[in-house]
Chain A
Amino acid sequence: MSLLDSNKTVMNDSLMMDVKNLSIQFGGLKAVDEVSFSIRKNEIFGLIGPNGAGKTTVFNMLSGFYQADSGEILFANQNITSLKPHAVNKLGAARTFQNIRLFKGLTVLENVVVAMQQKHEHMWHDSLLKTEKFHKLEKELVEKSIDLLKIFNLDQFKNDQADSLPYGSQRKLEIVRALATGPQLLMLDEPAAGMNLSEKAALKDLIHFIKNKFNLTILLIEHDMKLVMNICDRIAVLHRGKKIAEGIPADIKTLPVVIEAYLGKKVI
C-alpha cells in the first residue's frame, strides 16, 4: 500500500495533472471508482490495466468528453473537471485517439494548419477583405506547420490526402496535429495499437524524442506491457475501475496485485 501514497509528498508546483477521487457511473456500472493519481512535470506517466479496466474512460474524463460524477481534475493548478474538450485543449492538454481520427479529406498540411490556427485570433473582416494581416497570418500558419512536419519527416507528403498515408505515418500525423496546438501535456491513447515490432520500436524513440524536443509531459495508455515498462517513468494500474497500484515500472512488474489482475489468481 505504500506505493499508493508515494506521490502525496510531492509539491503542488511540480505537478502537471492532479486527479483526485475521480468517479463515473454508467447506469449501474461504476466504470471508474475513486481513482486518484498525479502526473509530475516532464515525466512519462503510464496508465495500464486489463481490458475494460476503465483506462479510456479516465482518459475521456481528463480530456473533457465525459463529465465526472464526482472527484476533481487539476491541470497546472486549474480545475478542469467540468470543462469541454476544446477548453481543455486551450489550456494546454492535447490528446490522440486509439482509433486514428484524422481529418481524412483534408491534406496532411491542412490537418496541421487547422490545429495550429486555433491558438490564433482571427478577424472576420480580415478574411472577407483579404487584408495584409490575413495573408501574413496564413503564411505564418503554413510555414510553422511545414516546419513542424519537417521535424517528423512528413513534409514530403504535405499535399497528400491524410487518409492516403500509411498507418504508421497516420499515427505520427495525429501526434503532430496534437503538438500543433502547443500543449504542455500530451495524452496518447494506445499509440502502439495495430503496430508491428519495428513500428513499436520507432514509436518508443518518437515518444522520447517529442518529450525532450517540446519539453512535454506525456500520459500514455497502453496495452503493450513491454513498451510501457520500457518507456514510462511511473505507472498507475487500473483494474475494474479502481486503481490497484502506482509506482515505477520495476516495482509494478513484481507486484502480486498487478500480476493477479492481468493473469488471474494462482490456484494450488
Chain B
Amino acid sequence: MKKLIIFLGSVIVLGIVLNFALNSYIQAIVISFMINAIMALSLNVITGLADQFSLGHAGLMAVGAYTSAILSKEVFADHWYLIPVTVLCAGLTAAIVGYLISLPSFKLKGDYLAIVTLGMAEIVRVLLLNWNHVGGPRGYNGIIKFPEFSYAYIFVVTLLSLVFVACYRLKYSWFGRNLWALNEDDIAAEVMGLDLTKTKRQAFVISSFMAGLGGGIYSHHLGYISPNSFSFLVSTQILIMAVLGGLGSMSGSVIAALILTILPEALRSLPTGSLDIRMIVFPIILIAMMILRPQGIFGRSELINFCKEKKWIKS
C-alpha cells in the first residue's frame, strides 16, 4: 500500500512538472519513452522469459497502430475519449495475428520464430504500403490525438503500469516458472508434463497483445503513421532495449527504454558540423555496455533485488 502511494505520488508530481514547467518537446519524449517501454516489455515476455527470438515486433506494432487508427477514424468518428477502446481493440487484433503466427512456428524447435516473425513484419509492411485506403506509402494522416498532454500522460502511464505489473506478476508465477524451465531445458520440461507448444503460444499471444497496445498508443501519440514507421529497424530497436535491460528483467526493460529514448535526443546537442557524431557515439555506447555487461543491465534480476543486494533499501 505504501509503495502504491509513493508510486502514485511521484507519477502525479512528474505529470504536473511536465505539464506546466516543461515544453512539448520533453513531453513528447516522455510519451515515446513509455511506448518504447511497453514494446520492450512485450518483447521481454517472449524473448526474455521463453527464449524465443522474435524479430517482428514492429509488425505487430503496425497491426495495432493501424487497427487503432482506422477504428477511431472510420468507426468511432474521431472521439478522443474513445482512444482507450480503440487501443484495446488494437491489442486484441495484434493478439489474433500473433496467435495465427504461433500456429505454425511453435511446432518446430529452435529459432524458427525469428524467421517467421521477420517475414510477418515484412508482409504487414508491404500490405500496408499497397493498401491505398489507408494512404499506402504516403501514410495514414490525421489520426485523433488527446486534446491535452495531461490526458495522454495519464492514459499512457496507466497502460504502462498495467503492462509492467502484468509482466512482473507473470514472471513470478507458475507461468514464468514454466517459461524459465523450458528456456533452461525444453526436453526436461516436456518430460515434467509441460506442453511446450501451448506454453510458448500463450507467451507469444500475450506478447503480441502488449505489442498491439504499444502500437495503438503510438498512432494516437504521433497522429500520423506510415508503413515505414514500422520497418525492421524498429524491431531491432525494441530488441536492443530488451537485451540491454536484461532478458527476463522487466524493470530492466523499462530502464533500458528510458536510456535508449533519451540518449539519441541528448546526443542531438553534440557539435556536428559536417559529421553526424550522434550516429557514432550512440553505437559506441551500446557496444561498450555490451562488453561491460553482456547479460544486460540487470541480467534476469529486477531493480528491487539489485537495490536489496547493494543494501540501498531494506529487504
Q: A101-B188, A181-B193 are in contact. Are A106 and B174 (CB under 8 A)?
A: no
Q: How far is the CB of A182 from chain B (nearest CB, A)?
A: 9
In the complex, what residues of A have CB within 8 A of residue B196's CB? 86
Q: A103-B180, A127-B170, A128-B166 are in contact. Are A97 and B195 (CB under 8 A)?
A: no
Q: A118-B194, A127-B169 are in contact. Are A106 and B187 (CB under 8 A)?
A: no
Once the chains bind, are B180 and A106 in contact (CB under 8 Å)? yes
A84 to B186 Cα, complex, angstroms: 13
Once the chains bind, are A103 and B184 in contact (CB under 8 Å)? yes
In the complex, what residues of A have CB within 8 A of residue B187's CB? 65, 85, 97, 101
Interface string of A109-128 (1 = CB under 8 A from B): 01001110111101010011
Once the chains bind, are A86 and B190 in contact (CB under 8 Å)? yes
Once the chains bind, are B175 and A127 in contact (CB under 8 Å)? yes
Nearest first, the 3 A-B pairs at minimum CB distance are A127-B173, A118-B193, A89-B193
Q: How far is the CB of B41 from chain A (nearest CB, A)?
A: 14
Closest to A130 in B: B169
Interface string of A51-91 (1 = CB under 8 A from B): 00000000000010100000000000000000011100110
B189 within 8 A of A: yes
In the complex, what residues of B have CB within 8 A of residue A253's CB? none
Once the chains bind, are B170 and A106 in contact (CB under 8 Å)? no
Closest to A65 in B: B187
Total residues of chain B contacting the partner, CB 8 A = 23
B275 within 8 A of A: no
B185 within 8 A of A: yes
- Among A114-149, those with CB < 8 Å from B are 114-115, 117-120, 122, 124, 127-128, 130, 134, 137
Once the chains bind, are A115 and B169 in contact (CB under 8 Å)? no
- Among A167-204, those with CB < 8 Å from B are 177-178, 180-181
In the complex, what residues of B have CB within 8 A of residue A65's CB? 187
Give 9 A-B pairs besides A86-B194, A127-B170, A127-B175 with Cβ atoms closer than 8 angstroms: A84-B195, A85-B191, A97-B187, A110-B177, A114-B189, A115-B192, A122-B175, A127-B169, A127-B173
- Among B240-265, those with CB < 8 Å from A are none
A-B contact pairs, 24 of them (CB 8 A): A86-B192, A86-B195, A86-B196, A94-B192, A97-B191, A101-B187, A102-B185, A102-B188, A104-B184, A105-B184, A113-B177, A114-B194, A117-B177, A118-B192, A118-B193, A120-B174, A122-B173, A122-B174, A127-B169, A128-B169, A134-B173, A178-B191, A180-B192, A181-B192
A118 to B195 Cα, complex, angstroms: 9
A40 within 8 A of B: no
Please give the residue numbers on chain B whose beta carbons come within 8 Å of chain A beta carbons, in ascending order. 166, 169-170, 173-175, 177-178, 180-181, 184-185, 187-196, 300
Once the chains bind, are A90 and B188 in contact (CB under 8 Å)? no
A178 to B189 Cα, complex, angstroms: 11
Once the chains bind, are A117 and B174 in contact (CB under 8 Å)? yes
Please give the residue numbers on chain A whose beta carbons come within 8 Å of chain B beta carbons, in ascending order. 63, 65, 84-86, 89-90, 94-95, 97, 101-106, 110, 113-115, 117-120, 122, 124, 127-128, 130, 134, 137, 177-178, 180-181
A23 to B194 Cα, complex, angstroms: 27
Residue in contact with B193 in the complex, picked from A101, A103, A119, A137, CB distance below 8 Å: A119
In the complex, what residues of A have CB within 8 A of residue B194's CB? 86, 114, 118
In the complex, what residues of B have CB within 8 A of residue A134's CB? 173
Once the chains bind, are B191 and A63 in contact (CB under 8 Å)? yes
A166 to B175 Cα, complex, angstroms: 29
In the complex, what residues of B have CB within 8 A of residue A95's CB? 191
Once the chains bind, are B191 and A94 in contact (CB under 8 Å)? yes
Q: How far is the CB of B210 from chain A (nearest CB, A)?
A: 13
With most chain B CB atoms within 10 A of its CB, the pick from A94, A118, A180 is A118
Q: How far is the CB of B193 from chain A (nearest CB, A)?
A: 4
A137 to B177 Cα, complex, angstroms: 14
Once the chains bind, are B190 and A106 in contact (CB under 8 Å)? no
With most chain A CB atoms within 10 A of its CB, the pick from B174, B181, B190, B191 is B191
Once the chains bind, are A106 and B184 in contact (CB under 8 Å)? yes
Once the chains bind, are A114 and B177 in contact (CB under 8 Å)? yes
